Amino acid sequence: MATSTSTLQFQLLRPSNLFLRKPSLLISSTPKTHLTQYLSHIHSPTKSTYSPFRSLSSSSKPRFSVSSSESNFGGFLSNQKRSRGFCSERRRVVAMAGGPVQKSEEEWRAILSPEQFRILRQKGTEYPGTGEYNKFYGDGVYTCAGCNTPLYKSTTKFDSGCGWPAFFEGLPGAITRTADPDGRRIEITCTACGGHLGHVFKGEGFKTPTDERHCVNSVSLKFSPGS
């Protein structure tokens, strides 16, 4: 009986097998495997076997890729520069081409003197011998008083003795010819803005290369010295 009691006491005092086990046995291998996969896919985003961020897959929007954003932003700036370059180039070409000038009657009245408006926009005529450029022969270019479009070179001006500035030809494409309603004369206007210049006459016997006389109101012109 004493022996049995001693044996029982020894067994009670003996540490449990649970506490003798190695701590590593308490950790399941499954969480370790998932943790390893999780970490490996964070550092290797190109792998497709497992992704902890399925809600942000390639088909989802918006994307939060810094490198992609920088690339797209750089492309946007590049396109903007090309666009601005194209627009600025287009504006330069249009300016060189001298496109049509269209204004309302009120706008013309605001920028022209009463006499200029009467002649340029209402097809009036200045009194003969009174024009500023009737007897003027400086070297340069005559432009439209309404829109500043070049119309005549000074080398084409001659003295007709008629009381108005006379030119034997205009710059290419600058002058538009329109027959008057009665068919007796041909009106000449600025092609760009339609401003009335005067009339053109042919076959008057002037010793000019074209045998034409552009009879122009001085008020319709502005002179710019130089070639």
Count of other CB atoms within 10 angstroms of residue 87 = 10
| CATH number of the domain to which 215 belongs | 2.170.150.20
Q: How many domains does the chain have?
A: 1
- Within-domain flag for 58: no
Return d(Cα 95, Cα 138) in angstroms, integer: 27
State yes or no: is 215 an active-site residue. Answer: yes
Q: What is the CA radius of gyration of the chain?
A: 47
- Within-domain flag for 37: no
- Within-domain flag for 150: yes
Range of the domain at 208: 106-225
- Within-domain flag for 141: yes
What percent of the chain is predicted at pLDDT more than 70?
A: 56
Out of 144, 147, 193, 215, the active site residue is 215
> Per-residue pLDDT averaged across 208-214, rounded?
96
Predicted pLDDT of residue 117: 98
- Within-domain flag for 41: no
- Within-domain flag for 12: no
Q: pLDDT per residue over 110-153, tens digit each?
A: 999 999 999 999 999 999 999 999 999 999 999 999 999 999 99
CA angle 185, 143, 146 (to 5 degrees): 80
pTM of this structure: 0.57
CA angle 219, 224, 227 (to 5 degrees): 135
- Within-domain flag for 61: no
Q: Are strands 157-158 and 166-167 parallel, antiparallel or unpaired?
A: antiparallel
Whole-angstrom CA distances from 11 to 4, 5, 15, 51, 223 are: 11, 10, 8, 52, 127
Residue type, 225: P
Q: Which residues contact 26 (CB under 8 A, 6 or more apart)?
A: none
Return d(Cα 32, Cα 38) in angstroms, integer: 10
Whole-angstrom CA distances from 82 to 12, 87, 195, 207 are: 89, 9, 38, 54
pLDDT confidence band for 41 (50 / 70 / 90): very low
Residue 79 contacts residue 95 (beta carbons within 8 Å): no
- Within-domain flag for 158: yes
Return d(Cα 218, Cα 63) in angstroms, integer: 69
Is residue 45 scored above 70 in pLDDT?
no
Return d(Cα 22, Cα 5) in angstroms, integer: 31
Backbone angles phi, psi at 134, to 5 degrees: -60, -45
> Alpha helices of 51-131 — where are they, by DSSP H?
66-97, 105-111, 114-116
